[in-house]
Amino acid sequence: MPEPLWRTHPRYWPDFWRRSIQARIVTGTLLMSTVVLILVGWVMMSQVTDGVLESRRTSAQQEAVAQLKSLSSSINAADPTMLNQNLSQLVLGSNRSGLYETVLIPTDDAESTLIRTTGLVESDSVPRELKSSVSTDDTKLWDTYTKINYTGGKSEPGLAIGSQVRVNSTGRRYEVYFLFPLTAQRETLDVVQRALVTAGLLLVVLLGAVAWLVTRQVVTPVRMARRIAERLAAGRLEERMQVRGTDDLARLAVSFNKMASNLQQQIRRLEELSRLQRRFVSDVSHELRTPLTTVRMAADLLHETRDEFDPITRRSVELLQNELNRFEELLADLLEISRFDAGAAALDLEDVDLRDIVARVLENHETLLLRKGCDVQLDMPEPCRAQVDSRRIERILRNLIGNAIEHSEGQPIRISTAYDEDAAAVAVRDHGVGFRAEEAEMVFSRFWRADPARARTTGGTGLGLSIALEDARLHGGRLDAWGSPGEGAYFRLTLPRRPDVALTGSPLPARPTDASRVVSESLVDVGAPYQKLTGGES
């Protein structure tokens, strides 16, 4: 089970995010629900704010209209000669402490000393835009939101409502402004906002928990199926999923278990067939040795006295000898393959120079080189030593070089060796017919040939490259193949220089440097009979 996100190091979070469906679903749910709640909260808060302020505005306008009528009556009833002295008392009389403040400004006198206010409110609390509207139209009641400033630096949000009052006896006009504080409304809106934020956070957490629980119900069986599949892939074929209930997930578990049971039966059946096949090949190969030995003794006797026979009989004896040689090679290859299949192959390591093995192989192929007329170019400037089983490495190179000579078509063959701290490599390059890129994956298949109809000088069992691949793997090395029709083939054998070294690369390139065009490279086991070899130093 994967570690919780809070227990993982931050550098593993991107990998955790890619691997965890549950984390992505929960995070996506939280993000989308947060966005939705923010939008809903904003709409609700806007509507509540508009409703609260509009309600206060309506009540304030009603209050302002009533107070304007009262103030107008008081001013018109006052003695005109004493009006300026009594304005302050009239303004104070029109005020309702705690509900609003009053500001009275004469329209025909710019002296600030004639401005009358109530309480500690400052006259600059009245916005200029409202003053302009009131002064240009005395028939309407004007209002706007503002900030009410008090003596001492205190301020609070408020609603300013203004209009004009006319003195009938003198014709003078006064601008009257009522400043209604909105402190209570602001506190109400703050409470509503805190409630919305708290409810939103709780709802987001609740939605996250619900998403986590729901996805857990789905993801847990999927994770269990993944773990069971990994164990099945590792060979633990008895593993099964637990089945709980009868829902879709339970039916998935039942289907998965049926699939696992069928796979187990098929794999065991195939393993048994493979075991019987390997045993059959091994038994047949061993059983054929006894009659083959008898036939070989008789054939050798005939071959030694072949000069005493007539030409037709002598030719028959020679053909018998050649086919017996091929038959023995086939039996030897089959026995070697059976040892690989049974896991009984072992290495006899010794420190050798790969150049010496190449020299021995070339010496053994000297007759074939002369017959094919191909030149061998050696690129082996320095000793290339490694701890290997020389018999098996010689068999690998014998197959690679033999194939190269066989299919060189008279073109030069190049053999290269190189080494680094951990690996040693041998590459065989020919310029013959080559093979297609898709055939590079098949050259190591048993009994496979690119052109079954092609006549071969040296015969062959079709198992040489398969055995070469197994020999390379037994050393912990690799055998790679590259080919292109008309450009020839290139085989690279890479071996660890010591048995405790794990290969991470090769001192030789994966494709020849003289290839004229890029062809798909297949770094797989080589086994095709298309390699050409080189036969002399340059």
pLDDT, tens digit, for every residue of 289-348?
778 788 888 888 888 888 888 888 888 888 888 888 778 777 777 777 777 766 667 788
More confident residue, 383 or 86: 383
How many beta carbons lie within 10 A of that of residue 415, not counting itself? 25
Report the DSSP beta bridge partners of residue 163.
Answer: 176
- How far apart CA 511 and CA 509 sit, in angstroms, is 5
Provide the mean pLDDT of the chain.
Answer: 78
pLDDT digits (tens, 9 = 90+) for 160-208: 888 888 777 667 778 888 888 888 888 888 999 999 899 889 988 888 8
More confident residue, 367 or 111: 367
Give the model's pLDDT for residue 519.
39
Q: What is the pTM of this model?
A: 0.48
Confidence grade of residue 28 (pLDDT, cut at 50, 70, 90): confident
Give the model's pLDDT for residue 532.
30
How many beta carbons lie within 10 A of that of residue 13, not counting itself? 12
Those residues with Cβ within 8 angstroms of residue 338's Cβ, 6 or more apart along the chain or in another chain: 278, 281, 282, 285
428, pLDDT greater than 90? yes
Those residues with Cβ within 8 angstroms of residue 388's Cβ, 6 or more apart along the chain or in another chain: 347, 349, 350, 352, 354, 475, 495
Closest CA to 408 of 493, 529, 503: 529
Kindly report the CATH number that applies to the domain delimited by 53-183: 3.30.450.20
528, pLDDT greater than 60? no
Mean pLDDT of 224-245: 79
Give the model's pLDDT for residue 219.
78
Give the model's pLDDT for residue 467.
83
240, pLDDT greater than 90? no
- How far apart CA 340 and CA 335 sit, in angstroms, is 9
Q: Which of 42-46, 337-341, 463-467 comes out lowest in average pLDDT?
A: 337-341
Most confident range (mean pLDDT) of 252-261, 420-429, 440-449 is 420-429
- As assigned by CATH, the class of the 350-496 domain is alpha beta
Q: Do domains 263-342 and 350-496 have the same CATH topology?
A: no
111, pLDDT greater than 70? no
CATH architecture for residues 263-342 = Orthogonal Bundle (1.10)
Confidence grade of residue 455 (pLDDT, cut at 50, 70, 90): very low
- How far apart CA 27 and CA 14 sit, in angstroms, is 13
Q: Domain segments of the chain: what residues?
A: 53-183, 263-342, 350-496
Mean pLDDT of 116-138: 80
Outline where 305-389 has alpha helix (H): 311-342, 354-364, 366-372
Most confident range (mean pLDDT) of 76-80, 250-254, 416-420, 436-440 is 416-420
Amino acid at 303: H
Mean pLDDT of 349-376: 89
Question: Do residues 69 and 247 lie in contact, with contact meaning Cβ atoms separated by under 8 Å?
Answer: no
Mean pLDDT of 90-119: 65
499, pLDDT greater than 80? yes
